[in-house]
Amino acid sequence: MDCSYFDAGVCRSCTLMGVPYAAQLADKDAHARDLLAAFGDAVWLPPVASAESGYRNKAKMVIGGTVDSPTIGILDENGRGVDLRECGICAPGIRAALPVIADFVTRTRLAPYSVPERRGDLKYVLVTLSPDDELMIRFVVRSEDVVARIRARLPELRAALPSARVVTANIQPEHKAVVEGDREVVLTPDASLVMRVGAVPLRLRPQSFFQTNTAVAEALYSQVADWVDAVSPASVWDLYCGVGGFALNVAAPGRRVVGVETSREAVRSARATASAAALPHVAFRAGDATAFARDAKTTPELVIVNPPRRGIGAELAGWLEDSGVPSVVYSSCNAKSLAHDLARMPSYRIRTGRVLDMFPQTGHLEVAVLLERSAA
């Protein structure tokens, strides 16, 4: 993949830009296998490749420049806007929407937030594209005073961009590097975006986490479901469940599945999907994964964990080590933190694993492993 922004030196976020994709994938696969070799004589499946470009279903774009000439992209080292609306890793539907959004910013007179001057109305635009080519557009603004202006001109935006299914205003008044605030004002009749991933139409609400690469996410969910079916547990916990991608994909007759997630919006999304799919044996809880495990009176036959980059940490790893749970599926976006956690769980060995290239053109990867408790 070629990128004019990278070549011009205005954006270096994709650190592997220009490296042949086959080499990227092989290097990531070798890196994960080497890093995790000490944790079992695993059977490694071939890595899952991604499209080289246009794979991102979500764009977190900083708004800079001026009202009449807004930039959509990132900030340079001086806090000035750098326009990246043609970013090649973003899905085509997102790239097509960004100029329309920029025009809406101008017509609505939303002043881009200036970091150096600490003033302005609009900080970010967060755009998510569904497999059905529908959009969720979230305007991150400084105050609720701006919301009325967005609402008043919203019909114009939806006329120019009929694919905009969900539009919201997120209120983030603080002068610090926090992308979004707690308060979300939904401006459209629909409050969730349907993400059809495999056989499960997940419902994504604002502030809910979803994998950024839909095609590879589908492969990940399918792989984990295959592993879980091979183990055939009667009970499963999905910790850090997000909108329920794993929990809903491993659901089966006679199998009790519980998903746990700190984000209440994500839990609302997951419950809505489970209800629509008529899955009575799948339940979701809002709360801390470690506290849930620590306080539970019973343990499941299999646990799925999909933590943030920092990993599950010492307390949950220690709980798993002492729990007696026979099988664990660990999906990680950081192989180093996965290795740290496995070192805290010596009773578990990797039975099989797979690298999935969720983030082409970057050094990041997703690696999933099936762990079994050793007999010794």
Residues with active-site annotation: 333
Q: How many CA atoms lie within 13 A of 26 on its CB side?
A: 5
> Alpha-carbon distance 41 to 152, whole Å?
61
Strand 327-332's sheet: what is its strand order?
A: 43-44, 348-356, 366-373, 327-332, 302-305, 235-239, 256-261, 282-286
| Complete DSSP assignment for 23-49 | HHHHHHHHHHHHHHGGG---EEPPPBP
Whole-number Å distance between alpha carbons of 1 and 365: 18
Task: Identify the CA nearest to 276 among candidates 167, 203, 181, 361.
Answer: 203
Residue type, 69: S
Phi-psi region of 308 (alpha: psi -120 to 50; beta: other; left: phi over 0): beta
Q: What span, in angstroms and rounded, lies between the C-alpha atoms of 111 and 216? A: 37
Q: How many CB atoms lie within 10 A of CB 147?
A: 18
Q: Are 224 and 349 in contact (CB under 8 A)?
A: no
Q: How far apart are CA 56 and CA 357, in angstroms?
A: 12
Q: At what angle do helices 21-36 and 335-343 cross, to 10 degrees?
A: 10
